[in-house]
A and B are shown apart, each in its own frame.
Chain A
């Protein structure tokens, strides 16, 4: 059982927006929430860090937010290449980092 709770699946049609949630007490305690995209057989790729920040090269179609103990990743203008599993992570204190169980995003 993961320390952070994510819905197992999400879906949307090309061009639409989809939002994925991530809930846990560490999300509310710290502003160190990150989101990763993982395609099958590949390493995770950082998409958002510190709740809302995007690394260089990540499209602004990916945006993050947080309210209380729940963080969210919104993917706008869905594209076929966005189909992947998305994981959230959060700093949990005492140098500990926890991950969610993942949400498989399907582009219909």
Chain B
């Protein structure tokens, strides 16, 4: 069974760092790029960027460039999203997502369950 399983909810203070994990199973991890999407409660999703799982090359959306880092542990079939210095505006649900049956179609048909991140002093 193909699955993306993310790490659990986080409560952080402003200025703290965050790492969200996304473990893939049921398919060859390096076959599909991993994307990250942010969704502030009550708002539409925002695409944050993607990382190539075969060469670990990241591409960040302009709105997030310089503030986030994507990384991989290919041996563990796991992708990571890091935010080195959180602000209250980072409070959101973060999803990892990939395109499997629709590869190359700029759409995402496999999603993690989401990780709720709350940033509050």
A53 CA / B105 CA spacing, docked (Å): 10
B60 to chain A, nearest CB (A): 10
- Interface assignment of A84: CB less than 8 Å from any CB of chain B: no
Residues of B within 8 A of A (CB): 43-47, 50, 59, 61-62, 95, 97, 101-102, 105-109, 111-114
Contact B47 A2 (CB under 8 A): no
Contact A43 B113 (CB under 8 A): yes
Number of A-B contacts (CB under 8 A): 66
Contacts of B61 in A (CB 8 A): 96-97
B91 to chain A, nearest CB (A): 16
Contact A91 B106 (CB under 8 A): yes
Contacting residue for A96 out of B62, B97, B107, B108, CB 8 A: B62
- Interface assignment of A44: CB less than 8 Å from any CB of chain B: yes
6 CB-based A-B contacts, threshold 8 Å: A2-B43, A46-B102, A49-B106, A87-B45, A97-B47, A102-B44
Contacts of A98 in B (CB 8 A): 47
Contacts of B59 in A (CB 8 A): 95
